Amino acid sequence: MGTIVVYVLLLILITPPLGAYMHRVYTRERIGRLESLVYRAIGVDATAEQSWRRYASACLWFSAISMVFVYAILRLQNHLPLNPVGLPAVNSYVAFNTASSFTSNTNWQAYAGETTMSYLSQMVALTFQNFVSAAVGMAVLIAMIRGITRAHTDELGNFWRDLVRGIVYVLLPLSAAIAIVLIGQGVTQTLANSAVATGVQGFTQTVARGPVASQIAIKQLGTNGGGFFNVNSAHPFENPTALSNFLEMFAILAIAAGLTSTFGRMAGNARQGWALFASMWILMIAGVVIAAPGEHDATPAMRAAGVSAIAPNLEGKEVRFSVDEGSLWMVTTTDASNGSVNSMHDSYQALAGMVPMFNMGIGEVVFGGVGSGLYGMVFYVVVAVFIGGLMVGRTPEYLGKKVMARQVKITVIAILVPFLVVLAFTGISVVMSSTVAATNNGGPHGFSEIFYLYLSQGNNNGSAFAGITASGPWYTVTGGIVMLISRFVPLIAALALGASMGREKTVPFTAGTLRTDTPLFVGLLTGVVVIIGALTFVPGLALGPIVEHLMRDGRLFSFTRLDLVHGGVL
């Protein structure tokens, strides 16, 4: 419990200084020497203002080219250098899914990293994409804020300038510092081949290693997730000590939290940023309070086997870390669009396992991905001020701009489209015998495996509920489609919303204006997030973790796979 308290306090303390630094990075007029070299190299005019359409076009073309680049590297890795193990090319389905995943800042992995990806693929394709996909999300957020805070213009800045500044001045220096600390803690960083070790019983074992620390630092800071190794941050070469565990977990939310302060500074009212932070903080603490305590008790199956009721649930936990640290990481990684894990979410008790599903289901706006989480929360703010306006009988306003029908329509599209693709593909998958057969469990837990898969990919998270075999054509192709839709529809909507509000004139603050920087509005915003998430995903949660929780006798499901749907449980 002490770790949780320290974690939360440090997150609050780091938010103002980091937010102030990022505000200076994105708003200063002077172009630095290093970034100037990058602009000349790629042949762009970083001083030219772009309309939201031009900004979106540059963003989409850059992301499309990045995706093709990643796909090509994976398909050709057997012909490329830095492949000491001699790994073959990644098959076309997994390569498409992985390229979609890393381009969309999801980092869902339908493969085991150490047995699938060469060092070159890990560094040049995946680690590089960790930087640029995170920087894209940050750039779009900054552009959206500019639009909301400007008047009589739909110009949002310059995509290339925002992208390069995010990488050069924020992600690179922080990643370098964290990577150095991780190396000092024992995270591997080498281009040497796998090592061969002989155990005490005389058996030899091949130990995978590689350029790990450099990838782990940016995967956490950029809320990318994924991992060099199959078991992710439970692996001692990725996360060897209690300090590395805390640092990696803290890095997941640091930039996303700091951006709330950046938002307040750009809006000219720091309280606006703290209001968003407070709503996110409340939802985060609620998740920890639900998830952590239950893991200190034995599961129904453990009790049925005669284990003491007060024995902690250590199944799927890394014993080097406490149950609380595992629960905190589970909540943190699904609050952000991260997806790294230091314990198996599949092994948590039913209600605890429901927490990451709900966190992802609301669009991962509890701090969320760097940039994407905050502009996702702004969509909920628009809904909240619209409801508030209806309550007081006034046209809703936010940051001095009237929220009209156009802004509400854009917001509804941004919120509902990811929800719809998740529900649609989950519904299709649970009635197909081949996809149900890929699950490792029947009954509600098997349903949760499928539901979690699409929730994770449909909200650009990347974590898995374990058990399910997701490397086949159906899950890789549909998952890749879901990730791209869920990333780029809200991204375009964020730019469109910023430009739409930017074209409006600023209206004066009056006694009748609904304040959006007060505890009352924080409560309204938090309620809107919870209610929209509940109305959308409670049926799915009811069919999975809620049903499993209510079945307290510890019975395991042993019927056939198709009984997941037709056996009377659902």
pLDDT in tens, 365-400: 999 999 999 999 999 999 999 998 888 777 788 998
CA gap 518, 274 in Å, rounded: 9
| Averaged pLDDT, 452-475 | 88
Q: With 60 as the cut, is the pLDDT of residue 560 above it? A: no
Residue 362: exposure state from Cβ atoms within 10 A (0-12, 13-18, ≥19)? buried
User: Do strands 397-398 and 401-402 pair parallel, antiparallel, or not at all (unpaired)?
Assistant: antiparallel
Task: Kindly state the tokens that stand for 159.
Answer: 């995509």
Cβ neighbours of 131 (radius 10 Å) = 20
In tens, the pLDDT along 198-241 reads 878 888 888 889 999 999 999 999 998 888 998 889 999 999 99
Residue-wise pLDDT for 158-171, tens only, equals: 999 999 999 999 99
Work out the pLDDT band at 413, boundaries 50, 70, 90.
very high
C-alpha pair distances (Å), 416 with each of 214, 334, 422, 458, 481: 36, 19, 10, 11, 16
Contact 493, 414 (CB under 8 A): yes
Phi-psi domain of 207 (left: phi exceeds 0; alpha: psi -120 through 50; beta: other): beta
- What is the rounded CA–CA span in Å between residue 150 and residue 107? 34
Q: Assess contact for 379 and 500: CB atoms under 8 A.
A: no
Cα 261 to its chain centre, rounded Å, is 20
Distance of CA 71 to the CA centre of its chain: 21
**If DSSP codes are grouped into helix, strand and coil, which group holds residue 375?**
helix
Domain count, the chain: 1
Q: Looking at residue 123, what is its pLDDT? A: 94
Q: Which two tokens stand for residue 406?
A: 């156009």
Residue 319, pLDDT score: 84
| Local structure of 563: helix, strand or coil | helix
- pLDDT greater than 80 at residue 87: yes
Q: Band of the pLDDT at 310, cuts 50, 70, 90?
A: confident
The answer to whether residue 444 scores a pLDDT higher than 90 is: no
Contact indicator for 144, 497 with CB cutoff of 8 Å: yes
What pTM did the predictor assign? 0.92
Range of the domain at 201: 2-566
Provide long-range contacts, Cβ within 8 A and 24+ apart, for 5-8.
Answer: 7/246, 7/249, 7/250, 7/328, 8/281, 8/285
Separation between Cα atoms, residue 78 and residue 394, nearest integer Å? 63
Cβ density class 233-262: b for 16+ within 10 Å, e for less = bbbebbbbbeebbbbbbbbbbbbbbbbbbb
